Chain A
Amino acid sequence: MRTTEEASERRPAGDPFKSTAEPRAVRWTLIAVALLFLGLFLLLPLLAVFVYALGSGLGLYFDAIAEPEALAAIVLTLVTAAIAVPLNTIFGIAASWAIAKFNFVGRNILITLIDLPFTVSPVISGMIYIMLFGLHGWLGPWLAEHNISIIFALPGIVLATMFVTFPFVARELIPLMQAQGSEEEETSLLLGAGGWQTFWRITMPNIKWGLLYGVILCTARSVGEFGAVSVVSGHIRGRTTTMTLHVEILYNEYNFTASFAVASLLTLLALMTLIIKGFLEWRTHREKEM
């Protein structure tokens, strides 16, 4: 039957594409459009970051990064991620376990709540904490009495970052665990294993790639967060500025080279995330094929 090929151009012998594929002209047009889009909106800006950062020479580049306020910003970003990501991972695993393997009152509410940070603007996410812990917030007076600072300090930044990166691990694990079902866990229990044994020996190995993927996404987002942190941090240079905030400050002072230098670090991190992500996808694909 050559009907699909009648209206289109002739295919050369050995064409690897199926007879249901688009004619070659359409194929190449679509690929060209996609590449153009990617190039304009993704590659060009990325290139620009490095061009501007290294434009004034490597010396100035390293100066900008080694500057004390910049270093403080880098440390703050890393510390925030080091706290937020593990906590969200533990929560993500617990929530996915409950949602995927059990039916309980409030299950649907929990699923909706997990998706909430995706729908809420990051600025609002930050404002929530101001309204809770700020000087004029609900718990403000109590906190002031006990000399605890949350807003304009590390705790606030960590909380805001946790809120925004909340869903990543859970959303990655829930469909994975649902697809895997509970039979392996039930079998483990039937064979006499306890709850923790079942979790570590059976559940964890089965979800490890999905978990890693969720953690990578969570980390990337935590490092790159701007809006929510901007609201709660107070922008105290050297104390409560994360890398993203620092880039903004430098840029507003017309210190372009320095700001792009710090931005390039964030870009490198983003690229590393993409590479690791690609590797993990390749691994899961390979495991599925086995």
Chain B
Amino acid sequence: MSIEVKNISKTFGGFVALDDVSLNVATGELVALLGPSGSGKTTLLRIIAGLEIPDPGSGPILFHEENVAGQRVGERGVGFVFQHYALFRHMTVHENIAFGMRVQRPRTQRPSRDTIRRKVDELIKLVQLDGMARRFPNQLSGGQRQRVALARVLAIEPKVLLLDEPFGALDAKVRKELRRWLRRFHDDIKLTSVFVTHDQEEAMEVADRVVVMNEGQIVQVGTPDEIFHQPQSNFVMSFMGSVNIFRGYVEEGKAYIGPMEFDYPEYRDSERKLAHLFVRPYQLDIETEAGSGNSLKARVSRIHSGGGQVKVDLISQTGEPIYVEISHQCCSMLGLEKGGEVFVVPREMKIFLDDPAEQIPQAPEAELPAPVD
């Protein structure tokens, strides 16, 4: 069951939650809607489910070519899992999962008690909650409740699975385990699924494709690889992980960032334009001597060696912080010490011309910096 939404807008009072959003989800795909709070991702999910109605003038919501925009909530065959699971607190696990089948209308089409019981038992086994059938939600852990919520929606054999921050309410370790579990689960059942998250690591690890949203619009769509390594805007790059940002300008095919100079054939005008260099911490090398290429002189302010990589905090000559990640090997070879002067070399980078001040909280500067010798 594929999903396609066209030109969806939604306003709440004066607030624009969604601004002319269109999206395509292929059958059997697992797609993540990723973005910060207020980006509209949950609103979009709820509109697909039928819990919200898009503004008049919005386009259709197509489930496999059929417009379901006019259908009521229960008629769309959508399985929706809330962030806080919304289990029926006064019903056992068994009764929760059986609910969808028990209330099926018309009455005549309702499955028999035996059929229901068999199906519930199957589902309990499927989500690995054997033996918990008689328990109440308040007797379950967060991860267990999540799986009951999943089993409950699967009982009605939905065409589409929608999850709203499914792991948001769990602690870090459980979250990681459940992520992997969900991915394997999806590989087994191949149900078209869309989930909302603000955690980019989660989106990258679980989804087939990631839809990055910000301020009610879709900013970029692509595989996790594409989003991370080929970000199309500085928003996407900063959102997907920590990043160092250096100010500079472009002019006549070259970019000047601090004392560094790069080729930038995309901009050939002679008019100087503000530009920013984006480098991820692991894309920076540290050298003890200035080589022949571009480098930035900096002083080591802190070394965090707990963890897989060594995180080095430095201060540039202009007083700005630089964050670098290097391996433990490199760190010991360099003999880094707090207060030492080193050279930071960007190995890979991206240069963006759009003003990050619009999207990232930073002090915007009006004038262009002069070239530094």
* Residue from A187, A194, A197, A290 whose CB has the most chain B CB atoms within 10 Å: A187
Q: Is the CB of B86 within 8 A of A206?
A: no
Nearest residue (CB) in A for B164 is A183
- Check B80–A184 contact: CB distance below 8 A: no
Verify B90–A206 contact, CB threshold 8 A. yes
Looking across the interface, which residue of chain A has its beta carbon closest to that of B46?
Answer: A186
Nearest CB of chain A from residue B12's CB, rounded to whole Å: 10
Q: A189–B84 contact, CB under 8 A?
A: no
A202 within 8 A of B: yes
A190 touching B103 in the complex, CB below 8 Å, given contacts A183-B84, A184-B86, A205-B90: no
Also in contact, A189 and B88, with CB within 8 A (given A183-B82, A197-B103, A201-B103): no
Give CA–CA (A181, B138) in the complex, Å: 17
Query: Would B138 and A290 count as touching, CB distance under 8 A?
Result: yes
Contact check, B153 vs A191: say whether CB atoms are below 8 A apart: yes
B residues with a Cβ closer than 8 A to A are: 49-51, 73-74, 78-80, 82, 84, 86-90, 99-100, 103-105, 136, 138, 152-153, 156
11 A-B contact pairs sorted by A residue (CB < 8 Å): A188-B88, A188-B99, A190-B73, A190-B80, A191-B103, A192-B103, A192-B156, A193-B74, A193-B103, A197-B103, A290-B138
Contact call B105/A192, Cβ cutoff below 8 A: yes
Q: Determine which residue in B50, B99, B138 has the highest number of CB atoms from chain A within 10 A of its CB, and name it.
A: B99
> Min CB distance, A211 to chain B, in Å?
14
Chain A's nearest CB lies how many Å from the CB of B53?
Answer: 14
Chain B nearest CB: distance from A182 CB in Å? 9
Q: Chain A: how many interface residues by the 8 Å CB criterion?
A: 17
B74 touches A189 (CB 8 A): yes
* Closest partner residue, chain B, to A193 (CB atom): B103
Residues of A within 8 A of B153 (CB): 190-191
Give chain B nearest CB distance to A128 CB in angstroms: 37
- Assess the B84–A191 pair: CB atoms within 8 A: no
Q: How far is the CA of A193 from the CA of B104 in the complex (A)?
A: 7
- In residues 145-195 of chain A, which contact B (Cβ within 8 Å)? 183-184, 186-194
Q: A184-B87, A187-B80, A201-B99 are in contact. List 11 more A-B contacts (CB 8 A).
A: A186-B82, A187-B86, A188-B99, A190-B49, A190-B51, A190-B73, A191-B103, A191-B153, A192-B104, A193-B103, A290-B138
The answer to whether A190 touches B78 (Cβ under 8 A) is yes
Q: Which residues of B contact A206 (CB under 8 A)?
A: 89-90
A203 to chain B, nearest CB (A): 11
| B152 proximity list for chain A (CB < 8 A) | 187, 191
Assess whether A191 is in contact with B89, with CB atoms less than 8 Å apart.
Answer: no
Name the A residues within 8 Å of B51 (CB-CB): 186, 190
**Contact B88–A202 (Cβ < 8 Å):** yes
Do A191 and B74 have beta carbons less than 8 Å apart? yes
Which 9 pairs show the lowest CB-CB distances between chains A and B?
A183-B86, A191-B100, A193-B103, A192-B74, A187-B86, A205-B90, A189-B73, A190-B80, A197-B103
Q: Give the complex CA separation of A290 and B137 in angstroms.
A: 10
Check A187 against B105 for contact (C-beta < 8 Å): no
Q: Looking across the interface, which residue of chain B has its beta carbon closest to that of A185?
A: B86
> Once the chains bind, are B90 and A191 in contact (CB under 8 Å)?
no
Asked if residues B100 and A192 are in contact (CB atoms below 8 Å), the reply is yes
**CA–CA, A290 and B84, complex, Å:** 17
Q: Which residues of B contact A201 (CB under 8 A)?
A: 99, 103
- B104 partner residues in chain A, CB cutoff 8 A: 192
Once the chains are docked, how many angstroms separate the CA of A191 from the CA of B103? 8
Contact with B along A238-255 (1 / 0, CB 8 A): 000000000000000000
Docked-complex contact A290 and B136, CB < 8 angstroms: yes
Q: Which residues of A contact B138 (CB under 8 A)?
A: 290
Identify the closest chain A residue to B149 (Cβ).
A187
Q: How far is the CB of A28 from chain B (nearest CB, A)?
A: 38
A153 to chain B, nearest CB (A): 44
Q: How far is the CB of A237 from chain B (nearest CB, A)?
A: 49
Could you tell me the distance in whole angstroms from the C-beta of B326 to the nearest C-beta in chain A?
45
Point out which of B89, B103, B138 has the most chain A C-beta atoms below 10 A from its C-beta: B103
CB distance from A36 to the nearest CB of B (A): 42
| Chain A, Cβ-Cβ closest to B105 | A194
> Hey, which chain A residues are within 8 Å of B89, CB to CB?
184, 206
User: Which residue of chain A lies nearest to B104 when distances are taken between CB atoms in the complex?
Assistant: A192
Question: Which residues of chain A come closer than 8 Å to B49, judged between CB atoms?
Answer: 190
Can you list, as one digit per residue, whether each of A241-277 has a CB less than 8 Å from chain B (1) or not (0)? 0000000000000000000000000000000000000
Instruction: Find chain A residues with CB under 8 A from B103 CB.
Output: 188, 191-194, 197, 201
Contacts of B73 in A (CB 8 A): 186, 189-190
Chain B residues near A188: list those with CB within 8 A: 88, 99, 103
Contact of A184 among B78, B88, B156 (CB under 8 A): B88
A205, B136: Cα distance in complex, Å: 14
Q: Are B90 and A187 in contact (CB under 8 A)?
A: no
> What's the Cα separation between A7 and B80 when bound, in Å?
59
Q: How far is the CB of B99 from chain A (nearest CB, A)?
A: 6
- Taking CB atoms, residues of chain A closer than 8 Å to B156 are 191-192
Q: Tell me the smallest distance from the CB of A92 to a CB of chain B, in Å.
A: 21
Q: Which residues of A contact B79 (CB under 8 A)?
A: 190
B139 nearest CB neighbor, chain A only: A290
- Tell me the nearest residue of chain A to B81, going by C-beta: A187
Whether the pair B74, A187 counts as a contact (CB closer than 8 A) is no
Determine the chain B residues whose CB is within 8 A of the CB of A186 once the complex forms.
51, 73, 80, 82, 86
CA distance A188 to B82 in the complex (A): 12
Chain B residues closer than 8 Å to A202, beta-carbon distance:
88
Interface centre among B79, B86, B87, by most A CB within 10 Å? B86
What is the chain A residue whose CB lies nearest that of B75?
Answer: A192
